Amino acid sequence: MENKTEQWHSIHAETAAIEWKDLERFFAKGNLLRVSSQLDLVDVAVELANDTKASVEQWLESDDLAAVSADEATRWSKGEGNLWSVIVLPWILVQQRN
């Protein structure tokens, strides 16, 4: 088992810019989670991968981690957003970058 630092670097290497059209099917299946710009995408992915319940619950309560809304999907489908993503099965995490 790798330590969190190694895991962070491994997940970071798997992040990528992505177009909304490549995320639509995951949105339709309910497997797409939006990470707020207040959080680090890779940090969230590490905590989710490690099933760190306290962190994940806190982010869900504060809406820093949530299912992608229909409004977000509509905006992103119109090309309004610079999206970055990483996979933490069964989830696809997406974050709009400014």
- Beta strands at 32-35 and 16-18: parallel, antiparallel or unpaired: unpaired
Q: Pick from 77, 95, 70, 75: which is nearest to 85 by CA?
A: 95
pTM over 0.85: yes
Structurally, the chain folds into a number of domains equal to 1
Contact between 16 and 82 (Cβ < 8 Å): no
Q: How far apart are CA 39 and CA 53, in angstroms?
A: 16
Q: Which domain holds residue 91?
A: 4-97
**What number of CA atoms fall less than 13 Å from residue 9's CA on the CB side?**
4
Task: pLDDT tens for the chain, 98 residues: list them.
Answer: 468 899 999 999 999 999 999 999 999 999 999 999 999 999 999 999 999 999 999 999 999 999 999 999 999 999 888 999 999 999 999 999 87
